[in-house]
């Protein structure tokens, strides 16, 4: 029962992050299941079955708040489903001894990318409003879907930063579209795992726990996407994923590091993580101040233009004034 409650809370937290940031539900949940000692393929299968419900609820919530571009959903979601189905079968064919370190390595890479991406760069807005090309979305969906199934997560960490870095969509629409298209990916991956592992490969109780927490969080996250600073959240989640999967790799047969080595590595990661979070928070405050200054300057310019317009007579007013002067001047003045 304690495990089920913990999974529900993890699902709630992961979905809050995923719905606000456009990534990290699968990565966070799979990392937790691996920490419990779950078979990698079973962990990914369990998470993807839970994601069918959470991504559906999240997509509906984002659609309600106007955060979804349906053209992008179709162009990236269908190739993503193909990649996820293939990835599920590839992961299912690997032995546990090989799959566990491989999955942790994928998750570690994604976590490091999140940490660096959101700590140092934030969100690029220079190309906002330009159309996203299909020749970019189809390969992106195929790769992201494959990584998502083999790594237990990756649809968001691969898809969201790629679309954000293009700067062609509003951040809220990137997040909403990626979250909505994840339903197709989760459905295809689940079908792949079901065919490869059978129903015995899925811990249905754990999937239910993750699903329950995610369903509660999905509508809240869709509303919070306009208010939560994604830069700070990305640094927090990225550091957590890096730390957890580094722990798994250092204890694996690949490395089997001694305690002093492991603790030294953990200390370095904690220090880098703390510095990244502090930097992200400072940059967030700086960006907020800059945005406020830009907004005030724009408002001042608008008021100045309005003031000039009100005090500058137009041609019709000038003509009326001249006619009134001429009408009041006598043509033959008398003493």
Each residue of 53-105: pLDDT tens digit? 888 888 888 888 888 889 889 999 999 999 999 988 888 787 656 666 776 78
Per-residue confidence (pLDDT) for residue 23, from 0 to 100: 64
Q: Are 154 and 110 in contact (CB under 8 A)?
A: yes
User: How far is residue 194's CA from residue 121's CA, in Å, rounded to a whole number?
Assistant: 39
Q: How confident is the model at residue 267 (pLDDT cuts 50, 70, 90)?
A: very high
Biggest CA–CA distance in the chain, Å, is 119
Q: Span 307-318, mean pLDDT? A: 66
Q: How many beta carbons lie within 10 A of that of residue 17, not counting itself? A: 25
Percent of the chain at pLDDT exceeding 70: 75
Question: First vs last Cα of the chain: how many Å apart?
Answer: 111
pTM: 0.62
Q: What pLDDT score does 335 carry?
A: 47
Q: Is 80 exceeded by the pLDDT of residue 108? A: yes
Half-sphere exposure of 170 (CA within 13 A, CB side): 9
Question: How far is the C-alpha of 296 from the C-alpha of 16, rounded, in Å?
Answer: 32
**DSSP output for 72-120:** HHHHHHHHHHHHHHHHHHHHHTS-HHHHHHHHHHHHHHHHHHHHHIIII
Q: The tokens of 168 are what? A: 């062609």
Quickly state the pLDDT bin for 295 (edges 50, 70, 90): confident
Q: 196 pLDDT exceeds 80?
A: yes
Tell me the pLDDT tens digit for each residue of 121-148: 765 555 555 667 777 889 989 988 888 8
Task: Round to whole Å and give the CA distance between 318 and 328.
Answer: 16
Contacts of 305 (CB under 8 A, 6+ apart): none
* Residue among 123, 113, 237 nearest 173 (CA): 123
Is the per-residue pLDDT at 312 higher than 70? Answer: no
Rounded distance, CA 268 to CA 278, Å? 16
DSSP 237-272: HHHHHHHHHHHHHHHSTTT---HHHHHHHHHHHHHH
Structure tokens at 62: 């984002």
Mean pLDDT of the chain: 78
Interior/surface letters 87-123, b for 16+ CB within 10 angstroms, e for the rest: bbbbbbeeeeeebbbbbbbbbbbbbbbbbebbbeebb
Q: What average pLDDT score do residues 264-275 get?
A: 95
* Tokens 């724009």, located at residue: 298
Q: Quick one: which H or E segment has residue 56?
A: helix 40-64
pLDDT at 328 over 60: no
């Amino acid at each position: 029962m304690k495990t089920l409650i913990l999974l529900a809370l993890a699902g709630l937290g992961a979905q809050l992050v995923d719905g606000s940031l456009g990534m990290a539900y699968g990565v966070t949940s799979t990392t937790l299941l691996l920490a419990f000692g779950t078979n990698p393929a079973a962990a990914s299968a369990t998470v993807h079955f839970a994601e069918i419900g959470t991504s559906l609820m999240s997509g509906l919530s984002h659609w309600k708040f106007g955060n979804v571009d349906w053209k992008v959903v179709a162009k990236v979601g269908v190739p993503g489903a193909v990649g996820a189905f293939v990835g599920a079968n590839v992961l299912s064919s690997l032995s546990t001894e090989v799959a566990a370190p491989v999955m942790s390595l994928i998750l570690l890479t994604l976590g490091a990318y999140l940490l660096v991406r959101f700590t140092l760069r934030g969100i690029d807005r220079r190309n906002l409003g330009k159309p996203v090309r299909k020749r970019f979305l189809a390969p992106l969906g195929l790769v992201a879907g494959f990584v998502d199934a083999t790594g237990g997560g990756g649809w968001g960490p691969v898809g969201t930063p790629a679309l954000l870095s293009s700067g062609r969509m509003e951040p809220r629409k990137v997040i909403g579209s990626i979250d909505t298209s994840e339903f197709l990916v989760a459905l295809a991956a689940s079908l792949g795992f079901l065919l490869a592992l059978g129903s015995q490969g899925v811990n249905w109780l754990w999937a239910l726990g993750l699903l329950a927490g995610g369903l509660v969080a999905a509508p809240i996250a869709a509303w919070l996407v306009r208010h939560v600073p994604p830069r700070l959240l990305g640094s927090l989640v990225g550091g957590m994923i890096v730390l957890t999967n580094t722990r798994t790799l250092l204890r694996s047969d690949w490395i089997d590091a001694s305690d002093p080595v492991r603790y030294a590595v953990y200390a370095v990661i904690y220090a880098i993580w703390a510095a990244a979070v502090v930097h992200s928070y400072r940059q967030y405050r700086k960006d907020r101040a800059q945005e406020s200054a830009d907004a005030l300057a724009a408002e001042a310019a608008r008021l100045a233009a309005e003031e000039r317009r009100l005090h500058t007579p137009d041609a019709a007013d000038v003509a009326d004034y001249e006619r009134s002067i001429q009408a009041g001047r006598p043509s033959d003045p008398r003493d």
